[in-house]
Amino acid sequence: MLFGPLSFLTTLTLCSLAVVSSASNTYTDSEARKILSDNGISVNKPKPATSLDGIRKNTIKQLLTLKVASGCDIVVTAGTESGHSTSGVKNHGTGYKVDIRINTCISNYIEQNFNYIGQRGGDQADMYKSNAGNIYALESNHWDILYV
């Protein structure tokens, strides 16, 4: 149990950080799903419809951090499966990006705690940037998140 300024950290965060310490920097689909499920984050569909194969450990760690900080329900709706843009090095296929379902709680948290940085070219999605440099883009039916 932590006290003082870090008292908001829960067993959830401490448990997930211990898992991130292994040698590989990515998870298999089953490893990522277990960590998310153990920490109250669900995935909308089974593999291959929604795949987390090769997702970066930092991406999972940041999702857990978002869950703890926001206190909101989080449902992953897209991960590393094919069908996403492959432009740039940091995309869905390389495990840097994840999509989550829109809900009032998570939208309010993102919009109130991160800096609005304008609209993304192409789809005109409103974008918000966290102090850590992560980008949250509000697409028509989900949050498209880039964890740097």
Residue 120, domain extent: 4-146
User: For residue 103, how far is the Cα from the chain centroid?
Assistant: 14
Q: Distance of alpha carbon 108 from its chain centroid, rounded? A: 16
Q: Provide the domain count of the chain.
A: 1
Helix, strand, coil in percent for the chain, rounding step 5? 30, 25, 45
Q: Which one-letter DSSP state was computed for residue 40?
A: T
| Radius of gyration of the CA atoms of the chain, in A | 15
Instruction: Give the pLDDT means over successive 10-residue stretches in the chain (148 positions).
Output: 39 44 83 98 96 97 98 96 74 91 98 98 95 97 96
Distances in Å between the Cα of 60 and the Cα atoms of 42, 57, 87, 116, 118 are 12, 5, 21, 23, 26
Which distant-in-sequence residues (6+ apart) come within 8 Å of 142 by Cβ?
A: 77, 78, 99, 100, 101, 102
Residue 100 contacts by C-beta under 8 Å, 6 or more apart in sequence?
63, 74, 75, 76, 77, 106, 142, 143, 145
Structure tokens at 67: 């869950």
